[in-house]
Amino acid sequence: MTPTTQSIQPLVEISFKPSPILNIGANFGPPLSLVNIRGDEHDSLQTDVLRGLLHEQKYLLPKYLYDQRGSELFEEITVLPEYYLTRAEQEILDNHASEIIHRAETEFWLIELGAGSGKKTRRLLQTIQELTVNYNGEISVKPHIRYMPIDISEEFLYESSLALQRDFPTIPMQPVCAEFLQGVEYIVERRNQEQPSAQLLIYFPGSTIGNLTREEASAFVLRLRSLLQPNDAFLLAADMNHTNGKNLHILHEAYNDADGITSAFNLNILHRINRELCTDIPLDAYKHCAYYNAGESRVELFVESTRYHSITIDNCTIPVAAGERIHTEFSHKFSEEMIRNMAALADFSLTATWTDSRKFFGLYWLCAC
């Protein structure tokens, strides 16, 4: 596939607040361009929904939770008092960003899986920017360091990268619109051609790895490792399971908040199907269901039917029993041991672990052996 590039115009007005000790000009910073290697292929909602509803244990693929409304609801989830994950990861970065960035080689490219516009990414970029201060207290562009976020949503990636480039003008940025591994493959090729000595540091934030099945997660880590070269690193964020003493109640509440935002997020998948496939799923017949399965170390999310009805899609009528559950998402949790083992199977070695003060969440430095 031929990459297309979209130039992001250099900025005339820059709305960052320069630190008093640093001398940053308003037009400072490299130009920014977005590479799109995603192509035109799009998901087939109808095929996927039909396949899932005809399965013995009915399911809907979790990626369909994230339409415009679903993404907005997820943003609301991240600030809920019960949803500790985002704050815990932020706490780790607030306390250890410098240590993390100093573990990297002098020449490195920070790759983020998911368009990072939020506080977590900013914390890392702030630390990198501090590295670029010279002895006169001025900062300069350091071409040996780059920030490259990968995301499938071109618009979101473009907007968030633009804001970051404005605020961190000394860090060269190259957003890549692609599936995660497709994007890493592209970046690896560029590294090999442009700066073979640069270390790749792949940051996978948010415990998003937990939304894959265990098999998918292992396959993902294995494939990622196969793309990397020795000494590249994988900075993996993962929510912890109950085996280090985390209360089961904490895990349950995080997905059953008092304001019903997680419920709205989960049930929104049915709204989306009705809207996009013109189906007539009776929304009032469903309720949110989420619980922690300690045996599997995961939260399981379903939408549960409260009465018998049927769903018709493409001339196919599917009965749904009262009490029947349709699976929508897994959120796997990990002990440090589970991370170490998954890493070892893929030829990564766990060389550093950072946790928040309550030991609810972990950030793991996995070095490609």
Residue numbers at the binding site for ligand AVI (CB under 6 A): 77, 85, 206-208, 210-211, 255, 262, 265, 329, 331
Cα 231 to Cα 235: distance, rounded to the nearest angstrom: 13
Of the two residues 216 and 314, which places its CB atom closer to ligand AVI in the complex?
216
CB of 77 to ligand AVI, least distance (A): 5
CB of 305 or CB of 331, closer to ligand AVI: 331
- Other beta carbons within 10 angstroms of residue 329's beta carbon come to 22
Distance CA 98, CA 123 (A): 9
CB of 288 to ligand AVI, least distance (A): 10
CB 323 within 8 A of CB 69: no
For ligand AVI, the closer of residues 173 and 301 by Cβ is 301
Least spacing, CB of residue 10 vs ligand AVI, in Å: 34
Q: CB of residue 329 vs ligand AVI: minimum separation in angstroms?
A: 6
C-alpha–C-alpha distance, residues 364 and 342, integer Å? 12
Nearest approach, Cβ of residue 237 and ligand AVI (Å): 9
The residue at minimum Cβ distance from ligand AVI is 331
Q: How far is the CB of 211 from ligand AVI (least distance, A)?
A: 5
Nearer to ligand AVI, 77 or 313 (CB): 77
- Rounded CA separation 24/162 (Å): 17
Contact (Cβ atoms closer than 8 angstroms) between residue 328 and residue 269: yes
171 or 237: whose CB is closer to ligand AVI?
237
Q: How far apart are CA 70 and CA 82, in angstroms?
A: 18
For residue 316, the tally of other CB atoms under 10 A from its CB is 10
Tell me the angle at which helices 214-227 and 180-194 cross, rounded to the nearest 10 degrees: 10
Least gap, CB of 257 to ligand AVI (angstroms): 9
* Structural contact between residues 234 and 265, judged by C-beta atoms closer than 8 angstroms: no
46 vs 208, beta carbon nearer ligand AVI: 208
How far is the C-alpha of 84 from the C-alpha of 254, rounded, in Å? Answer: 7
168 vs 265, beta carbon nearer ligand AVI: 265
Residues 53 and 281 sit within 8 Å (Cβ to Cβ)? no
H or E, element range at 363: strand 361-368
Note whether 281 and 304 are within 8 A (CB).
no
Nearer to ligand AVI, 255 or 354 (CB): 255
Q: What is the closest distance, in whole angstroms, from the C-beta atom of residue 241 to ligand AVI in the complex? A: 13
Running DSSP on this structure, what letter comes out for residue 139? B
Q: At what angle do helices 261-277 and 68-77 cross, to 10 degrees?
A: 180
Closest CB to ligand AVI among residues 53, 85: 85
CB 324 within 8 A of CB 58: yes
In angstroms, give the least distance from the CB of 328 to ligand AVI.
9
**CB-based burial of residue 27 (10 Å sphere; 0-12 exposed, 13-18 middle, 19+ buried)?**
exposed
